[in-house]
Amino acid sequence: AQENLLLAAAYVSDAQYNRNVPFQTSPQAIRLYCFYNHWTMRVATYIFICVDLSLALFEEPALFPLPFVATALAEVLCLAAFSARLVHFAKVTPQMVFWKDTKNICIMVTIVVTLIDLIIYGSLEAVHIHSIRWTRALRPVFLINFPESRQIRRAFRSIRNTLPDILYVFLLFLFSVLMFSLMALKLFGDRGLKTADGAPYFTNILEIAFELYVLVTTANNPDIMMPAYNVSWWYSLYFITYIIINTYIFMSVFLAVVYNNYRKHLKNEIRKLAYLKRHKMIQAFNILKVKVGTEFVVKEAAWKQLAKVVTPDISSSHLELLLRISDEGQQGYVDKMNFLRLADLLNIQVVTINLRRHPLEAWVPRVYQSSMSLLVQRMVQHRIFVWAYDVIILINAICIALDEKHPFISYAEWLFLALYIIEILLKLYTYEPRAYLGRKQFWNWFDVLIIIAALVATMANAAIQSARKYNSRQILDIVLILRILRLLRVIISIERFRVIVTTLINIGPTMLTFGGLVFVVYYTFAVIGMEMFHGKVQFFDPNFTSPDALVCGNPALKGSAFARDRYCKNNFNDLASSFVVLMELTVVNQWHVLAGGFALVTHQAAKLYFILFHIVVVILIVNIFIAFILEAFFVAY
Amino acid sequence: AQENLLLAAAYVSDAQYNRNVPFQTSPQAIRLYCFYNHWTMRVATYIFICVDLSLALFEEPALFPLPFVATALAEVLCLAAFSARLVHFAKVTPQMVFWKDTKNICIMVTIVVTLIDLIIYGSLEAVHIHSIRWTRALRPVFLINFPESRQIRRAFRSIRNTLPDILYVFLLFLFSVLMFSLMALKLFGDRGLKTADGAPYFTNILEIAFELYVLVTTANNPDIMMPAYNVSWWYSLYFITYIIINTYIFMSVFLAVVYNNYRKHLKNEIRKLAYLKRHKMIQAFNILKVKVGTEFVVKEAAWKQLAKVVTPDISSSHLELLLRISDEGQQGYVDKMNFLRLADLLNIQVVTINLRRHPLEAWVPRVYQSSMSLLVQRMVQHRIFVWAYDVIILINAICIALDEKHPFISYAEWLFLALYIIEILLKLYTYEPRAYLGRKQFWNWFDVLIIIAALVATMANAAIQSARKYNSRQILDIVLILRILRLLRVIISIERFRVIVTTLINIGPTMLTFGGLVFVVYYTFAVIGMEMFHGKVQFFDPNFTSPDALVCGNPALKGSAFARDRYCKNNFNDLASSFVVLMELTVVNQWHVLAGGFALVTHQAAKLYFILFHIVVVILIVNIFIAFILEAFFVAY
Ligand code: NA
């Protein structure tokens, strides 16, 4: 019976968390499976993934250099942990299923390949031959393929499903770009025109195709048009046509195709999840069912035991509440329909509405109920109290905008801080503190945390200042930021603003999925970029104006837009810098300058790296992000 | 009876073309109304609107200067025509309705105001005082407000309906920009940093706010970040946060709000149109109905007369067909349900499926049916024929890409032209010509027209070349373009490409509505821009390197990015140039350079003009355009 209960609990738990892992039903396997799903094991896996990914910070080209032995040891440790996790999973799941799952194969192959790469690299390093640690680009495979990263995997699936549809549009788009390139070559190639830099204009079909691809991203508009436009107004029509067709229509069609697939895919996923959840709950029901009269039901005792096994820390009042809902007729058993709802019921967060009295009322009832105290309470609850504080925030904003070096304004800061603290204390006095700082009271928490942080930082700053007679720049920066973040409270007072912000906050967790997706792609591109471009571009202090500093330490950049715009710090010399460069490429503007610079210091083919990044991140991922925001807002607004 | 028929015909015609003009039902008013709707009157109105709008080409600052008297006379003529059209409309529609309609009031006010402006400007001009013809910016009012421009008006209504929802998001967005500006001022203002140009970095809150607004459009990324990023890697987080919140999230929310409103609005409009159409058809039915048995019907004779009045050029076979559909039981009358469908039936384009024999078969049946001729026909219909021509097109593309100055390739061009002509002749030989060039055969038409145009242009070029021993550059350009457009035929061979292109072509007419919308906004902004900026920036020949030419003839531009990027031809010195500048502003890239340049030659407040343009065109119109493409593709794909 105990074993049946555990099996049923495993099904219910899987249904509750939308896990879809087929597991063996022997008692031992179930215990292993529960252990596999235990939060400590999952957290440990994530920690090892983090360590593995963060190794890129310490490997050449490193932000914080460590010897190869250290990083190699850490990596082997991580690989061992991943292997253990995988072996654990293999014990839990049926063999057939295990070997058919691409996720597991992916992880195994990556582990083996990484080990081989480590050994080769290490032995070559031992004889002082420098080779490439190319499997570092595969590390995100672990992040994607462990069953815990369902969300990111779903986003990847969404992209993969979009590919066939995108492909034809993309080919047609490329065809259009090539046609226009040919036209540009014929129209402008033999006129001896020069760009603003003095370079020949539109003379090479490959360069034209690249420039026109850049024009699709708008990054070189209108510069690319100017030489032809200077010759005749009519040539602007060529570029306007190009932009309408390729930038506006094709890019919108990409968004349309991605969005369409996203919606279709989302619907299918939701339907499939609902089906699987129901299926698992039916399995759990079939294990525990007993026959009462003509129908199969689950006895109250079994139901309670099950709920307690699934959620060990459930409070008894909560459990009673769930039972009251599931056994409406109070017949001592839960029927099938109500039983199937259990997983969803457990997911509902119960907000205990607080009709409790204020603690002060319990401790000093006479003081708290005095007419003076009641007046204060009514004042705090009054609308004018809110308005008064909005005015204070406005005055505070003006004071911040003015120069704070004036002593009066620097004192005013303390006054404002005091006023905000008084406000919070008054509110805590008026409202029941546990209700005021309840789980869903986002804005109250925001208020309190910002004020406490500002108080701590301001005091720390003052302490340092009086002790060492100077301002710590870091702490001062934090104080400044906190001081300005306080102004965000104005949003609370305007209903429509609150609605928009609440919507944005609600879609926050899913946005984090995109964060994970972007991180995976960034990481892979960063590692490849570091292998290709590290050390080619050097950053010098901006006040340093030696000829070497002006060309970022690479003479190939002489006269280039990259050097002219002082982009030396946009390099692939460590992971952090690489991520910033990739962010700039995502934003798209000036990406052709970056691509051109790195092509100059290596080879023109390096531009392919940047084009591929644009296709993957901007055309696919950013469009899925936009599709996601659109869908989320349609549902919420 | 005749009058009743005319009235019913007016209702049916209105239903057919979705016109929603209440008109008086007296026989005289109906005749006036029919005349009002006559195509000659509508075309005349459009001609006058075009003339009125094109006056901006001839007025100071003019592309083709004309004396003020000439343009003023033309404008008065146009205004007279508009007044006449309005008076005509007033005679047709009930007085109450006429005076309640904002459209009419708008037109009247614009006519009066324009006349006053003309008189003032003219009299001041007579005493040699130069003033501003500000009512020129109002000219698009005529294009929007005449009942014929229903589509553009609908798009404007769509924008107007979006405004309240957009407003709050926009205010929140502005609030966010201001918060970040304040933060930037505090974080970076007192560090004495310099931009790549050597200008002080982030020291003035207004300039910061503008720069950060520009960053939302991504136009100054990553330049705006570099000075701070050069100091410390951590400061890049400030900019990344800013971009994620304001560029990605807020801009997507704008698109979501616009799209959401667009969909809602579209649904309402379609529902309303359907309701009005049905209402008008019921009115028509009630006029013509007679009682047969227990139900009201329209007799066949009356029905036929009505259809003939509504569409005078309907063929009798077409009419018989419609009657057969409407009177299914052949009872000699049309019942109410079938009568209401008349407007839709008339809108259906009847494609007469051609089972006709090939004309050659009728003329020379023996030759056409000979085994040789049949072989040719079977060959042309064969798949390999299509493939062979795809290969020819590919070879042609390669030849074009190679240098055409080589005599062999220049002869090859004639060969290709001959091959394409032979292909078309063969197809016309094989397929029935009227079917081959039917109304819906877009690709066949495309083929034939491109080839004929290429033939004409190539021959014209050859003729000029042999006569005057030189190539006319204009004709050569056209020949080149046509030669490359021919390659588009490759699309026909690939099914998926054809689907995408057909979808795009089908939404073409509605895209023209956006063209109209954009034109109206561009025109207004261009006229205002010309008044503000004309003559401030001069274009010199690009080979001309005098110091004056390098600063676009305005010393205020010395050292500016505008002059450095050689943007002198991006000016407001005539309507055509203004439109190109506005197009560049729509594409957004480098718009801050343009805005900065025009602010330098006038006043910093001029940047507001460019910000306003960005809000109206990019945030509103481009987003509606994207929403439209998304919706169209969801329906079609
Ligand atoms: Na851009």
**Amino acid in position B254:** F
If you average pLDDT over each of A336-350, A489-503, B161-175, which comes out highest?
Answer: B161-175
Instruction: Give how far A295 is from chain B: nearest CA, Å.
Output: 47
pLDDT at residue number B607? 94
Pair A297, A393 in one domain: no
How many CB atoms lie under 10 A from the CB of residue A400? 22
Answer whether residue A236 is part of any domain. no
Q: Are A607 and A599 in contact (CB under 8 A)?
A: yes
- Kindly report, residue by residue over B332-382, the tens digit of the pLDDT: 888 888 888 888 888 877 665 556 678 888 888 888 888 888 888 888 888
> To which residue do tokens 């790195």 refer?
A598
Chain A residues in contact with B595 by the CB 8 A cut-off are none
Looking at per-residue pLDDT, the higher value among B357 and A605 belongs to: A605
Q: Are A393 and A400 in contact (CB under 8 A)?
A: no
| Confidence label for A637 from pLDDT (cuts 50, 70 and 90) | low
Pair A453, A514 in one domain: no
Pair B444, B485 in one domain: yes
Indicate whether A546 pLDDT > 90: no
Among the candidates B474, B497, B520, a domain finishes at: B497
Pair A544, A570 in one domain: yes
How many CB atoms lie under 10 A from the CB of residue A167? 12
| Confidence label for B529 from pLDDT (cuts 50, 70 and 90) | very high
Does the CB of A397 have a partner CB in chain B at under 8 Å?
Answer: yes
Answer whether residue A247 is part of any domain. no
Of the candidates A218, A230, A577, which has its C-beta nearest B587's C-beta? A218
Contacts of the segment A84-91: beta carbons below 8 A, 24+ positions apart: A85/A41, A85/A45, A85/A146, A86/A111, A88/A32, A88/A35, A88/A36, A88/A41, A89/A21, A89/A36, A89/A147, A91/A29, A91/A32
- Kindly report, residue by residue over A150-173, the tens digit of the pLDDT: 778 888 888 888 888 889 899 999
- Chain B nearest-CA residue for A488: B179
- Chain A nearest-CA residue for B262: A634
CB contact under 8 A, A401 and B205: yes
- Chain A nearest-CA residue for B238: A481
| Residue closest to A69 by CA, chosen among A117, A130, A118, A3 | A118
**B333-335 and B295-299 strand pairing:** antiparallel
Distance CA B218, CA B55 (A): 37
DSSP bridge partners of B113: none
- Kindly report, residue by residue over B324-346, the tens digit of the pLDDT: 888 888 888 888 888 888 888 88
Of the candidates B564, B570, B625, which has its C-beta nearest A222's C-beta? B570
| Confidence label for B503 from pLDDT (cuts 50, 70 and 90) | confident
Answer whether residue A381 is part of any domain. yes
- Kindly report, residue by residue over A382-403, the tens digit of the pLDDT: 888 888 988 888 888 888 777 6
Instruction: Please report the ipTM that was assigned to this predicted complex.
Output: 0.90
Q: How far is CA B308 from the centre of its chain?
A: 34
Between vectors from CA A143 to CA A162 and to CA A44, what angle results, nearest 5°?
A: 150
Looking at per-residue pLDDT, the higher value among B410 and A213 belongs to: A213
Q: The CATH number of the domain where B424 resides is what?
A: 1.20.120.350
Pair B532, B618 in one domain: yes
Answer whether residue A503 is part of any domain. no
| Confidence label for A405 from pLDDT (cuts 50, 70 and 90) | low
Q: Are B228 and B193 in contact (CB under 8 A)?
A: yes
Expressed as residue numbers, the domain containing B439 is: 359-497
Among the candidates B473, B497, B521, a domain finishes at: B497
> To which residue do tokens 């324009």 refer?
B114
pLDDT at residue number A403? 66
- Kindly report, residue by residue over A268-296, the tens digit of the pLDDT: 888 998 999 999 999 999 988 888 888 89
Indicate whether B226 pLDDT > 80: yes
- Kindly report, residue by residue over B22-34, the tens digit of the pLDDT: 888 888 888 888 8
Report the percentage of chain A scoring pLDDT > 90. 29
| Residue closest to A17 by CA, chosen among A266, A284, A277, A313 | A277
Instruction: Provide the mean pLDDT of chain A.
Output: 87
pLDDT at residue number B148? 65
Indicate whether A354 pLDDT > 70: no
Indicate whether A577 pLDDT > 80: yes
Does the CB of B462 have a partner CB in chain A at under 8 Å?
Answer: no
Answer whether residue A574 is part of any domain. yes
Indicate whether B216 pLDDT > 90: yes
DSSP-H helix ranges across B1-67: 2-16, 27-37, 39-54
Distance CA B432, CA A82 (A): 70
Q: Are B536 and B602 in contact (CB under 8 A)?
A: yes
Instruction: Give how far A564 is from chain B: nearest CA, Å.
Output: 8
Pair B315, B406 in one domain: no
Answer whether residue B198 is part of any domain. no
According to DSSP, residue B194 is labeled: B
CB contact under 8 A, B175 and A401: no
Answer whether residue A268 is part of any domain. no
Of the candidates B186, B248, B576, which has its C-beta nearest A480's C-beta? B186
Chain B residues in contact with A183 by the CB 8 A cut-off are 480-481, 484
- Cα(A587) to centroid(ligand 1), Å: 8
Indicate whether A147 pLDDT > 70: no
Pair A480, A602 in one domain: no
Kind plus residue range of the DSSP H or E element containing A571: none
pLDDT at residue number A500? 84
Could you give phi then psi for residue B101, rounded to 5 degrees? -85, 115
Distance CA B81, CA B65 (A): 24
Does the CB of B629 have a partner CB in chain A at under 8 Å?
Answer: yes
Pair B414, B493 in one domain: yes
Lowest-confidence segment of A174-188, A190-204, A605-619, B143-157 by average pLDDT: B143-157
Indicate whether B46 pLDDT > 70: yes
Indicate whether B217 pLDDT > 70: yes
Indicate whether B304 pLDDT > 70: yes
Contacts of the segment A178-183: beta carbons below 8 A, 24+ positions apart: A178/A209, A179/B484, A179/B485, A179/B487, A179/B488, A180/A212, A180/A238, A180/A242, A180/A246, A181/A205, A181/A208, A181/A209, A181/A212, A182/B397, A182/B400, A182/B401, A182/B484, A182/B487, A183/A238, A183/B480, A183/B481, A183/B484
Looking at per-residue pLDDT, the higher value among B298 and A441 belongs to: B298
> To which residue do tokens 């010098």 refer?
A540
Q: Are B451 and B421 in contact (CB under 8 A)?
A: yes
| Confidence label for A499 from pLDDT (cuts 50, 70 and 90) | confident
- Chain A nearest-CA residue for B565: A196
| Confidence label for B485 from pLDDT (cuts 50, 70 and 90) | confident
Distance CA B584, CA B615 (A): 14
CB contact under 8 A, B400 and A182: yes
Q: The CATH number of the domain where B307 resides is what?
A: 1.10.238
CB contact under 8 A, B186 and A247: no
Could you give phi then psi for residue A296, rounded to 5 degrees? -85, 135
Kind plus residue range of the DSSP H or E element containing A256: helix A251-288
CB contact under 8 A, A626 and B255: yes
**Total of domains in chain A:** 4
CB contact under 8 A, A187 and B587: no
Q: Are A166 and A254 in contact (CB under 8 A)?
A: yes
CB contact under 8 A, B580 and A236: yes
pLDDT at residue number B494? 81
If you average pLDDT over each of A516-520, B415-419, B597-601, which comes out highest?
Answer: B597-601
SS3 letters for A130-160? CCCCHHHHHCHHHHHHCCCCHHHHHHHHHHH
Pair A104, A36 in one domain: yes
Looking at per-residue pLDDT, the higher value among A441 and B597 belongs to: B597
Does the CB of B57 have a partner CB in chain A at under 8 Å?
Answer: no
Q: Are B345 and B314 in contact (CB under 8 A)?
A: no
pLDDT at residue number B584? 93
CB contact under 8 A, A625 and B248: yes
Pair A27, A140 in one domain: yes
Pair B442, B493 in one domain: yes
Q: Are B563 and B575 in contact (CB under 8 A)?
A: no
If you average pLDDT over each of A285-289, B17-21, B410-414, which comes out highest?
Answer: A285-289
Answer whether residue B240 is part of any domain. no
- Chain A nearest-CA residue for B256: A630
Beta-carbon contacts of residue A446 (< 8 Å; ≥ 6 apart): A488, A489
If you average pLDDT over each of B26-35, B79-88, B411-420, which comes out highest?
Answer: B79-88
Reduced DSSP (H G I as helix, E B as strand, rest coil) percent helix, strand, coil of chain A, to 5: 75, 0, 25
Distance CA A247, CA A568 (A): 30
Pair B563, B595 in one domain: yes
pLDDT at residue number A115? 95
pLDDT at residue number B55? 92
- B283 to each of A396, B91, B166, B274, B297, how far by Cα in Å? 66, 21, 40, 14, 13
| Confidence label for B63 from pLDDT (cuts 50, 70 and 90) | confident
CB contact under 8 A, A583 and B168: no
Among the candidates A117, A146, A175, a domain finishes at: A146
Of the candidates B249, B477, B570, which has its C-beta nearest A629's C-beta? B249
Q: How far is CA A112 from the centre of its chain?
A: 29
